[in-house]
Amino acid sequence: MRSRSTNMSEQYWRDRYGLPPRPDERAPARLRRPRQRRWRKRQASAATFGPGAAWLLSSAVLRRGSLLKLGIVLFAAVWAVGGGLVLADYMRNAQGRDTSAPQTAAFDVDPEGNLARLFASRGHDALLADNAAANEASLIALRGYVLTGSVGFKTEWQRSVQLFEASQNAIVKNSRGWTDGRQLLQLTEFRRTSEELLAEERTLASFVGTPNRFPGLRLYDEEVAPAFDEALRLCDLMLQSIMTSNGSDSASSVDALARLRGDVRTMRAGLALFLRSRAMTMPIEVEAAYESFQTSGGVLAGLRAKARPGDQAKFDRLAALIQSTDKNLQQIFALKRTSRWDYADYVFRQKVLPLSAKISVTLGEWGAGS
């Protein structure tokens, strides 16, 4: 079941784009209860007027039930005979419909997914309009999925992609009767662009709800955060070793390791919040800890010479962690300042939108030249 916040977020974008409610939204059953209560009230009041009135009322109920059942049977028969005629008439007249908004409901009548037959009898201009509407519908649904992560938008995008591919295949078959050589040359580029568009859309959809959407965060969670934890563990071990050694200069070594441990703790807590926020500047205390962290490699090199032989390997490991972690953090901060930080949004704006617009331009030229 979807959460209330997700549903509200999805409905917000549906209203903004002028989309209808989701098909699985149903009116609550409690809306029918008042009618039942009124009927019981009338039945009870009729009983107070005596046996004659009660008999008439019960007869009316029986007649009403029989008529309702008969009406349902007649309606089903008429629908079975005329449903196909209504659909065929709609398909013949759909060429003149308004294509200012995505029109996908007309193609939901094929339960087996065999969309090819729905486009088989369509004319040239109608096929162009169908492909343009499917292109627009997939774009809107995909954007809704990126913004909300809603399964409803993902389902609509998948259905629109099926319509887009089916209508394009119908255009290719229809092109066998084209006499304009320029349009035939454009068709090859049109098909290549469509394949590239669908590949980018599918890649984008696979990012939503996964760590791949934010590569910088993934690098932080998989590399930097574990390195911080190991650095804290090494600092604790080396502090215990130095404090038990009773060396003449142990105080300065303890002070340097304690400061490094404090810097790592500050970064461990602050960077996790900063990278997941919209802020572009680190908090002052986190930035100060990072600057001190960057210079701690030289301090560790001086402490290593004073350490016991058994602890020198720990100093080497800690210095290597500082160097690799700093390199990863610089890469993460560079991504944070660019549009590639949210890679799903980047792919939509920089790749999907231009390819979709290119298809729309070609369809418009073909429609104007017909």
Q: What is the pLDDT of residues 270-281, one digit of tens each?
A: 999 999 999 999
Q: How many CB atoms lie within 10 A of CB 226?
A: 13
Per-residue pLDDT at 187: 95
Residue 12 pLDDT > 90, yes or no? no
- Summary mean pLDDT of the chain: 77
3-state percent breakdown (helix, strand, coil) of the chain, nearest 5: 80, 0, 20
**244 vs 183: which has the higher pLDDT:** 183
Confidence of residue 243 (pLDDT cuts 50, 70, 90): confident
Q: Characterise 127 by phi-psi region: left (phi > 0), alpha (psi -120 to 50), beta (else).
A: alpha
Quick one: CA torsion of 137, 142, 147, 150, rounded to 10 degrees?
100
- Per-residue confidence (pLDDT) for residue 210, from 0 to 100: 94
C-beta neighbour count of 302 within 10 angstroms = 12
Q: Please identify which residue in the block is written with the tokens 């939503």.
A: 208
Most confident among 51-55, 229-233, 309-313 (mean pLDDT): 229-233
Residue 241 in tokens: 């070793």
Instruction: Report CA-CA distances (Å) from 362 to 104, 160, 186, 189, 353.
Output: 21, 19, 8, 10, 14
Q: Which residues of 70-94 are buried (b: 16+ CB within 10 A; e: fewer)?
A: eeeeeeeeeeeeeeeeeeeeebeeb
309 DSSP assignment: G
Could you give the 3-state DSSP secondary structure of residue 225?
A: helix
As given in the structure block, the two tokens for residue 112 are 């087996």
Q: How confident is the model at residue 130 (pLDDT cuts 50, 70, 90)?
A: very high
Whole-angstrom distance, CA of residue 266 vs CA of residue 291: 12
pLDDT of residue 246: 66
Listed range (146-150, 192-196, 286-290, 308-312) with the worst mean pLDDT? 308-312
The pLDDT score that the predictor gives to residue 42 is 44
Q: What was the pLDDT predicted at 113?
A: 53
pLDDT in the model for residue 155: 95
> Tell me: the pLDDT tens digits for 214-242?
999 999 999 999 999 999 999 999 888 88
Cβ neighbours, 10 Å, residue 46:
17
Length in residues, the chain: 370
> Closest by alpha carbon to 174, among 162, 183, 163, 164?
183
State the Rg of the chain over Cα.
34
From the centroid of its chain, how far is CA 88? 36
Q: Minimal CA–CA distance to 332: which of 230, 207, 222?
A: 222
Q: Which two tokens stand for residue 176?
A: 């066998």
Which helix (H) or strand (E) element contains residue 359?
helix 353-369
pLDDT of 61 higher than 90 = no
Six-digit token string for 265: 């703790």
The C-alpha atoms of residue 94 and residue 206 are separated, in whole angstroms, by 34
pLDDT score of 19: 67
Q: Rounded to the nearest 5°, which phi and psi values hold at 276?
A: -95, 5
Over 60: is that where the pLDDT of 30 sits?
no
pLDDT of residue 259: 95
Q: What is the average pLDDT across 154-173?
A: 94
Which of 41-50, 82-91, 152-161, 175-184 is the least confident region?
Answer: 82-91
